[in-house]
Chain A
Amino acid sequence: MEQSKFNQRRRKVDRRAAFFVRLGGLGVILAVLFIGAFLVFEVLPLIKSPKIQEIEQTVELPVSVLAGVEEFTEGAWLLGEDGHLRLFEIDSGDMVDDWPAVPLQEGERLVRAKLGINRNWISTVSSLGRLFCLPLKVETQYDEELNRSYSLTEGRVYSLLEDGFAEGIEEYCAHVGEEGVVAVLVKPDGSLAKLELVVEYNEFLDETSESFEQSSISTAEKISHVAFFDRNYLVAATREGEVLAWNPENEVLEVKEIPAGAPVTAMASLIGRGSVLVGREDGTVDRLLWLPSEEGPPKVVLGNRFEEKQEGLSAFATSNRQRVFLAVGKEGALVGQATRGEILNRFDLPEDWSFVQISPREDKLAVFLSNGQLELYPFEPGFPQVGAQSLFQKIQYEGYSSPDFTWQSTGGSQEYEPKISLVPLIVGTLKGTLWALLPSIPLAILGALYTARFLGGKTRESIKSFVELLSGVPSVILGFVGALYLAPAIQDRFLVLALTPLVLVVLTLILGAWFAKQPPARRARIRQGKAFLLLLPLYGLISWLMLSQGANIEKWVFGTSMREWATATFDITFEIRNSVVVGLAMGFAVTPLIFTLAEDAFRNVPKHLVEASLALGGTDWQTARRVVMPYARPGVIAAVMLGLGRAVGETMIVLMATGNTAITEWNPLQGFRALSANLAVELPEAPHGGFLYRTLFLSALILFGFTFALNTLAEMLRARNRRAV
């Protein structure tokens, strides 16, 4: 009785243990596989296109000249015909503030107004032809319960023109900054007038002085629309749809490669003022850029012409955060991204809209109707900067002289155009890998062959252990040695270093030929397993020479170091921390790995094959070459692939031993930035969940996928090899 109870308990324990082992084991394995799934999960949001949901809220508001919403989309500001800037609470429709901003005369009213790109000022034209610029600042206050309330902050209003000058103005552009106001007006006859109000601050007197200047921009064409680029370069479109440009001194700039199109119906600058959008009657959108050129004035070129068309295109709504825009037409709008040059989505709008605005936080779309009603639509921009074009294709960036692959994810300001091409990083990774494998593969495979086939038990074991020890050296140490020891050392003895392997091979061959000529009796005295000891003095001497005299030899040949000579003669860039340094440092990491695995493959060749070959009269070397090598080939290929995987993912060495500039160049004397090093540098700084964060996750996924595929292939090869044995 007692016994059976005991046995029952034992069986119960056994069942439970089995359950836990299964659960734990499977759990661990699933958890590990989850890593890949998680990377995919973080990357997926990148492919969502911008979305606009069903209408969420409507409010009745007075009719205005210009209107918009504040940061939290809880208040709406309106500029009335009467020159008052008013603030309304959206939930209740109540007015909470009223600022008589523009001093109008009797009978005068505002007819047109424009919002600055950064939404901190408004320019407006009155019926009497006067131009005003007023600051727009909605202040948010919090009470004790953190409820928000809003008010307008009043500020200096600039009045630029006396009565009547700008009468009948339909189009204009203006820019307000600390240095004053610049405005260009399109007169009814199609000519241009330029106004500048320069504000200078005298810090000693703590005074500001203003000077006003008026000039005309001469053109024979009839202009219909104008917009400013950076530094107040002016772009204008004629009534025929042509594009013209001027610099701030009113000199004509060259406009290149812009095919003529339909008449222009809308024009707008994007944030950063590096691009101007041009919308045409037939619904096409062009993105214009200005290119700096090394000599001469900059040019204006066509960045992209967007494929899709918006019927009745008449206005743009731009974002104040990124280069996303809406091209708004009669009954709908296109959502586009300027850097990528792609239209990402289209949606419908009510027919009688008068202003459309993307809310400052990009979470809402505010549509003001002609009867004053405000409609709010939830808006999800997604990650429009990131797409196949911006990741893998050449892109014409603002301020760049030609389309290029560039990684430069963050810049000095919020208005920076992110450049997220993965091409330079992938090229960098491959370049580093290539230079690591170049010396490693022959060294590791031949070394493994010799160790496996010609060395006796004890020596072989100790060499294997030593190589295994070498493979344990942390990569941070290799990176540090590469950067602080190898890089400066290689700098003055580059050529000597490059020639040393060649010299060694030739000397070894000569030695081999001499050895073959020796009478068999003497040859027999040096056993094959000891051949490498024969070479020791030679190799020791050569490496000592290279280390101590390399720079002198190079100086003797070139008069200076090869680096300076090559830089002067061929105009080659020679960075101190270059790909060759990385290759050498990474060789220390990759060679032992390939060596160990290849040695296993050579050892696994069945004995009977080797013995058969020897019995048929093959020499040891013939057996190694013709029997062992072919037989072990899959295993050796697998070893190389695993080495490749290690080199691709290596982080610290490439981080430390190169300059980490992201360039798409194969020149081995220049550095590079690898995917892995880029992750280490940029991910800690990337805001959680943002486009950069997810793009970096994408590059991690690429690394993961690449090494996973490579390793699986290698594993399959090895498995087949093992089965064959």
Chain B
Amino acid sequence: MTKPQAGPSLGQFKPDRAGHMGLLVSAGTVLTVLLAAVLLFLLIFSRGARTFWPRDLNLVRHVDGRTFLAEVLDVREDGSVKMRTGNRDLDQERRDFFIFNEAEITLEAQPENAVWVERLEHGPVHAFFKAVRMPNAEGSDGEFSDSESLLVFQAQVAELRSQYAASQTQLGRMANAENDEGIRAAQQESSRIRAELTRYGMHVELPNGHAHEIDGEDVVKVIFPNQLGAQEKVGVWFGQLWSFITAGPRDNNTSGGVWPALIGTSLLVILMSVLVMPFGILAAVYLNEYAKASVWVNLVRIAVNNLAGVPSIVYGVFGLGFLIYGVGGFVDFIFFGEALPKPTIGTHCVLWASVTMALLTLPVVIVATEEGLRACPLPWREGALAMGATRWEMMRKVILPAARPGILTGLILAVSRAAGEVAPLMLTGVVNFAHDLPIDGTAPFVHLNRQFMHLGFHIYSVGFQAPNVEAAEPLVYSTAALLLLLILLLNLTAIRLRFRARKALEQ
């Protein structure tokens, strides 16, 4: 008896035999990943760039009688309008962001003389320009409302402010040197400049009709956004971007720039590179060239690969426990015993943060360097040895130069990792506001035992710990955009480098 021939049963039914559906679904996943990434980059770069764009000031009347000069930030789908009104310190509730329903407000014209004044504190003022008060050419005080005087006003205020900062620095230097005469002179100088500064002021009319005077020393930048053409706005954008990069943060990090964070990040990355490169290359050379292939070497390689996967916060824990409390505490005990219990080097600082980062990036450098070394073809080695070179000469003259792209890739990847990593820094030395930069003009110029600011941590601290998150949010986007740009450029270079090296190898 033969078994009856099985017909096409339901179990055999494959609707997608040819695989068009599966193909499309998997194509869809690639598309989703790409779209998500593009949206992420777009979000960060567009919002980051928008921060510096001068926005028109609209005269807004609320049904309850309040009047504002506001930047309209966002009109949402549910009809609510988010606007920034400025004048935080002059508002009854100390607010400068409002969300109104479209029905409650009427947007009126964009008045020509609406002025946007950036101040040292309390965010910008949105008002109508009246006049500036300042000494005239003869030295007596006067009021002027023409645009040329306004430019002169800004230039003179900026000049006086920088003179004042210089006199303060001088005062600090004299105080350090305990030069009593110098201290007195610097104090006199700075009080003279202060007195001079009080002669400057800016009269404006607030949107609610009250008159107000802004202290001259508070004025950072004056813009008439409604008078600007597109080209001038681009100019203002670049100006604002420049001051974002080169100025320090102000007003509890809610305005100003990121210069100290940029410096801190750079110093961290440079120190880390100096530490990690020799050791990483040494370890890779050992593993790839000197160690005989054995179970032990395999185990070590697995261990090194693993360390790349150890959470970064664990490195931070190690940095805190071993480097700061252990090594730092020991050095303090041996060399700075008289200063104890105040720690000299056994404390959170840029040095230990860099060492921690170097440990963290070590596997990256080892793996990349090994790849570079492996890419050197055997005949090169044999050739070098056959010509009578010792092993070290072969390494130094032939293999290491040939492995340079790999080593460079390792360095770039390590730098990009270190620039973006925040968690271990939180345990080893980063702060949200450092009074002194780790690099400055007083000997020994680089202060390894100082705490520092960092772009990545700046994002966290401003976005989450600032007292006025709404005011700070645009700056956080800008900081994120700056950091992302740096890291993308670094990674792109690394990818290109590696690609070219692989290509060269294939030929």
Contacts and interface: CB of A to CB of B under 8 A. Distances in A.
Chain A interface mostly:
helix
A667 interface: no
Q: Which of B39, B291, B306 has the most CB of A within 10 A?
A: B306
B19 A622 contact: yes
A18 B290 contact: yes
A508 B120 CA distance: 55
Interface in B264-319: 278-280, 282-287, 289-291, 298, 300, 302-307, 309-318
A446 B26 contact: yes
Nearest to B306: A711
B460 A449 contact: no
A475 B311 CA distance: 12
A527 B444 CA distance: 65
B313 A703 contact: yes
Contacts of B186: none
Interface string B356-398: 0001001100100000000000000000000000111101000
Contact of B392 (A14, A29, A697): A14
Contacts of B492: 465, 469
A485 B46 CA distance: 13
A531 B24 contact: yes
A447 B19 CA distance: 15
A454 B24 CA distance: 11
Interface stretch (B144-152, B158-166, B174-182, B483-491): B483-491
Contact of B21 (A508, A619, A715): A508
Contact of A25 (B28, B286, B322): B286
A39 interface: yes
Contacts of A555: 78
B302 A716 contact: yes
A476 B21 contact: no
B303 A33 contact: yes
Nearest to B319: A35
Contact of B30 (A20, A450, A474): A450
A447 B20 CA distance: 15
Nearest to B396: A17
Interface residues of A, number: 113
Contact of B427 (A449, A646, A684): A684
B318 A28 contact: no
Contact of B487 (A472, A651, A684): A472
Contacts of A477: 44, 420, 456, 459, 480, 483-484
Interface string A19-46: 0111011101101110100110010000
Interface string A479-502: 111011100000000000000000
A29 B300 contact: yes
A549 B284 CA distance: 54
Contacts of B31: 532, 535-536, 539
B310 A446 contact: no
A208 interface: no
Given A512-B16, A532-B27, A468 B495 contact: yes
A302 B392 CA distance: 74
Looking at chain B's contact residues, the main secondary structure is helix
Contact of B420 (A465, A474, A508, A625): A474
A534 to B, nearest CB: 8
B300 A620 contact: no
A366 B21 CA distance: 81
A38 B321 contact: yes
B457 interface: yes
A656 B460 contact: yes
Contact of B24 (A473, A474, A515): A515
Nearest to B47: A485
Given A32-B362, A477-B44, A508-B21, A700 B77 contact: no
B320 A683 contact: yes
B290 A619 contact: no
B29 interface: yes
Contact of A707 (B16, B29, B310, B460): B310
Interface in A444-466: 444, 446-447, 449-451, 454, 461, 463, 465-466
A568 interface: no
A152 interface: no
Interface string B36-58: 11011001100000000000000
A449 B24 CA distance: 12
A536 B31 CA distance: 7
Contacts of B39: 543
B246 interface: no
B32 interface: yes
B422 interface: yes
Contact of A508 (B15, B25, B313, B476): B25
A515 B310 contact: no
A504 B318 contact: no
Contacts of A650: 311
A696 interface: yes
A309 to B, nearest CB: 40
Given A454-B23, A651-B311, A711 B305 contact: yes
Given A35-B310, A595-B33, A472 B303 contact: no
Contact of A467 (B33, B316, B390, B488): B33
Interface in A624-676: 624-625, 642, 645-646, 648-652, 655-656, 676
A394 B177 CA distance: 61
Interface in A498-534: 504-505, 508-509, 511-513, 515-516, 528, 531-532, 534
Given A18-B392, A467-B33, A711-B305, A25 B313 contact: no
Contacts of A472: 416, 420, 487-488, 490-491
Given A25-B291, A35-B314, A476 B305 contact: no
Contact of A649 (B29, B289, B314): B314
B26 A447 contact: yes
Q: Which of B318, B322, B391 has the most CB of A within 10 A?
A: B318
Interface string A163-180: 000000000000000000
A265 B289 CA distance: 75
Contacts of A551: 77-78
Nearest to B39: A543
A600 to B, nearest CB: 13
Interface in A188-219: none
Nearest to B283: A28
B321 A531 contact: no
Given A25-B284, A680-B313, A680-B316, 15 more contacts: A10-B393, A26-B286, A28-B280, A32-B303, A442-B29, A450-B29, A474-B419, A539-B28, A652-B423, A656-B460, A679-B427, A683-B427, A711-B306, A711-B309, A715-B305
The 7 closest A-B pairs by CB, nearest first: A621-B19, A649-B311, A25-B286, A474-B420, A512-B21, A14-B390, A651-B423
8 contacts: A13-B392, A25-B284, A39-B317, A447-B33, A475-B423, A509-B24, A534-B27, A652-B460
Interface of A: 10-11, 13-14, 17-18, 20-22, 24-26, 28-29, 31-33, 35, 38-39, 42, 442-444, 446-447, 449-451, 454, 461, 463, 465-470, 472-477, 479-481, 483-485, 504-505, 508-509, 511-513, 515-516, 528, 531-532, 534-536, 539-540, 543, 548-549, 551-552, 555, 587-588, 591-592, 595, 619-622, 624-625, 642, 645-646, 648-652, 655-656, 676, 679-680, 683-684, 688, 696-697, 700, 703-704, 707-708, 710-712, 715-716, 719
